[in-house]
Structure 1
Amino acid sequence: MDWHLAFQLQQASSSSASTIGNNTPLNSSTFTTLQLPPAQENFECGVCAEVHNVNVRISLADCGHMFCKECLTTYTRTKIGDGRYPIFCPECVVERPRAIKSQLAENEIQQLDIPAESLTRLQELQLVLHCITLQCPRCKEVMNVDRVQFTEQSVLVCPLPRCGHKWCKSCLKTLASSQHQHKCKNSNIDRLMKRKGWKYCPGCRTPVQKETGCNHMTVSFFSLPDIYSHFCYKCGVLMVDTTFGGDVGTAVTEHYMECQLFEKRWRCSIQ
C-alpha cells in the first residue's frame, strides 16, 4: 500500500513539472531573453590617475599611453607656453630614456582644445626645429632658411626680391651677384678668431666670444627670443638646437661627462 502511494506521488510530481500556470506545456517560446545594458569601458589617465570613460580618452600611437583629454590639453598648452618642442609623452618622460621617448603627433594635438594663439606658437616652434633664423646684413630683415640647405651652402643670398644681398656665411663679406664661390680661409676674421680663441655658432655660423663663465653657450634666435641653441665653447659641438624641455639639461650633462665645462686656470696651493 505504501509502495502504491509513493508511485502515485511520483507521477503527480513529474506531470506538474511539465506544465505551468493553467496546464500550459513548457517550450522554448515560453522564456523571454533579457537584454542587459552594455558594460561601460573605463581607463585610467596617466597624468591624474583617475578613472574616466573612454569617450574622453586619447591614446598616443607611438607608445600606447592613455590620457584624459583635459589632462593632455593642459600638459600640451604648458609645454607650448614654455617654448618646448617636440612635445613628449608625459609618461615616457618619466619611464623611458631620452633617446626613445615618443612624441605627440600632429593628429593627436588636433584632438585637444588648444587655443588659436597656442597653435600659432606651436607652428613657430616647429619652424625653428627645421630652420635657421638669419638676419640679412644689408636690409636687416629677419628670415628663416632651411637648416639642411644652410649647412650645405657657403654663400647666402637674401630671398627678398627688393634686396637680393649675397654674402659669405663664414666671414660675412659682401659678394657680387655673379660670384658663386668664395674662399675665406685666410681672411682677417678667421685669423682674428683663431688668435683670440673665438668660436663660430654651429647653428648660424655667427662669431661668438666668451667673456666669462663656463663653456656652455646659449644663443637666442631673432624672431623667437625664448628659443635657444646650446653649444659647447670648448669643442664647438651643438648640444641642443632648440629648447626640448628637460632634454636641455640632459644633453648638457651627457656632453660634459666627456668634455670640459670649466677651464682649469687655477691650481690649488693648499698642501
Structure 2
Amino acid sequence: CEHGYCNECLQNAFKAALKSRAPFQCCKKALSVRDCLGLADGFVAEYEEMMLELSTPNAMFCSNAQCARFLPPRVIVGDIGTCEKCSAQTCRHCRQVAHPGTFCAEDKETEAVKKLAKKKGWKTCPGCNHLIERREGCLHMTCSRCQTAFCYRCSRPWKDC
C-alpha cells in the first residue's frame, strides 16, 4: 500500500507484531522484512526470524524446555536440529532430545526399513545400531561405520563368541 509511517510508528508497529507473533499488516497485506530496513539491525533479524518461523511448514522448536526457541531449517542437519541459542539437539521426528545412533519410533521411513530388515534377516551392529547384511562367508562381521567386530549369529563381540 502507499501509506506512510514515521520511523517511530513503524518501529512500534513491528514491535507489536513481534510481541503478538503475527506479521505487521497494513491494508490487509503483511509487510515484509525489507519494509523495516530503516530499523535497527537486531530488530530486523528478529522480525525476519519470526516471519521464517511463521512460513515454515511443521516448524521445529528446541527440545530444551527452558529455551523452546524456533529451529530454522538451516540448523537442521539430517535428523537433528541444533539450537543456536543453547546448543541443545532435537530429533527431527519425535521433537524430543536427540538420540543419535538409535532409531526414532516416530521416523516412518526408518520404521519401514526396520520392517524390511527383519523380513530379510539383517542384523544391527551392537556398537552403533548400523544395519548389517550378510550375503555370504563366515559369521565374523566388522561394522563399516564403527569398526566393531561381532558375531552375526548372536551379536556378541567376536572375541567373546
TM-score band w.r.t. shorter chain = 0.3 to 0.5
| TM-score, structure 2 normalization | 0.38
Could you say which structure has the larger radius of gyration? 1
Q: Which has the higher contact order (CA 8 A, sep 6+)?
A: 1
